[in-house]
């Protein structure tokens, strides 16, 4: 498998990321069990199972993006996903919470656009700790790249997405191409990603994709086929 080498100023982690880089982003609201009265603040076995299935089907990153959970619950969820994904090769990240990521002994953290700079996080985490960041404009992307500390960026929403409210701004494929051309960091496209759109994303210069719905359900065989189609589109 091809690798993406992060330059030392950009990451400082010595990380080498797969190309294309494929990320599953979790959303417990897609699983009725997780949002029931009894399970609204639990670690949610359905989500853990879906994350593990995606990991073993070949995604490279599992980003735990679960806002509103109590600290202990988020920690338990991260540990459960890490254990369920063991041996798959996928790296587990926790959204926003560096402290929880470190306590759960997962591979890294994914920072939202409002978070502290990647370089400041890099200064307090162990070597090899993976740090990603969400960006929504060319200005945010170039600023994140110039400040250093990031291993990769996620840009979007590129297309209309069911996970966003109606009227949520859509950046479009041209904006994705502009960001990819402006920074040396790997850029993943997010927002409305389907297998039919991956070739367009690859041609725009993206290094991979991140998605919620694309990996949220399905059997191991179905997800392996989805991952295979994504990799095939990037090869072409």
Report pLDDT digits (tens) over 98-109: 999 999 999 999
Confidence tier at 115 by pLDDT (50, 70, 90): very high
Whether the CB-CB separation of 179 and 135 falls below 8 Å is answered with: yes
14 or 189: which leads in pLDDT:
189
Whether residue 151 is predicted with pLDDT greater than 50 in this model: the reply is: yes
- Domains of the chain by range and CATH? 2-235 (3.20.20.70)
What integer is the mean pLDDT of 143-153? Answer: 97
Whether the CB-CB separation of 83 and 105 falls below 8 Å is answered with: no
Report pLDDT digits (tens) over 44-78: 899 999 999 999 999 999 999 999 999 999 999 99
Q: Determine the pLDDT at residue 223.
A: 98
Q: Which H, E and C letters describe the chain, residue by residue?
A: CEEEECCCCCCCCCCEEEECEEEEECCHHHCHHHHCCCCCCCCCHHHHHHHHHHHHHCCCEEEECCCCCCHHHHHHHHHHHHHHCCCCCCEEEEECCHHHHHHHCCCEEEECCCCCCHHHHHCCCCCCCEEEEEECCHHHHHHHHHHCCCCEEEECCCCCCCCCCCCCCCCCHHHHHHHHHHCCCCEEEECCCCHHHHHHHHHCCCCEEEECHHHHCCCHHHHHHHHHHHHHHHHC
Confidence tier at 218 by pLDDT (50, 70, 90): confident
Q: Determine the pLDDT at residue 164.
A: 61
Whether residue 6 is predicted with pLDDT greater than 50 in this model: the reply is: no
What integer is the mean pLDDT of 71-91? Answer: 97
Q: Determine the pLDDT at residue 161.
A: 73
């Amino acid at each position: 498998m091809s690798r993406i080498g992060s330059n030392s100023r950009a990451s400082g982690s010595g990380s080498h990321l797969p190309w294309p880089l494929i990320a599953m982003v979790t959303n417990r609201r897609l699983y009725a069990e997780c949002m029931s009265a009894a399970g609204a603040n639990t670690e949610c076995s359905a989500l853990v199972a879906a994350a593990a299935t995606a990991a073993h089907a070949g995604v490279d990153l599992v980003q735990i993006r679960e806002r509103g959970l109590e600290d202990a619950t988020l920690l338990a969820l991260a540990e459960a996903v890490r254990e369920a994904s063991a041996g798959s090769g996928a790296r587990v990240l926790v959204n926003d919470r560096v402290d929880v990521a470190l306590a759960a002994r997962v591979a890294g953290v994914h920072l939202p656009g409002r978070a502290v700079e990647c370089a400041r996080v890099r200064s307090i985490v162990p070597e090899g700790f993976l740090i990603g960041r969400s960006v929504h404009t060319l200005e945010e992307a170039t600023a994140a790249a110039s400040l250093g500390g990031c291993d990769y960026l996620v840009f979007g929403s590129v297309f209309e997405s069911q996970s966003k409210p109606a009227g949520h701004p859509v950046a479009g494929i041209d904006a994705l191409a502009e960001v990819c051309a402006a920074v040396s960091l790997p850029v993943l496209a997010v927002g409305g990603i389907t297998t039919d759109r991956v070739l367009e994303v690859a041609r725009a210069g993206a290094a991979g994709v991140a998605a919620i719905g694309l990996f949220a359900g399905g059997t191991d065989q179905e997800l392996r086929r989805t991952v295979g189609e994504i990799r095939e589109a990037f090869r072409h």
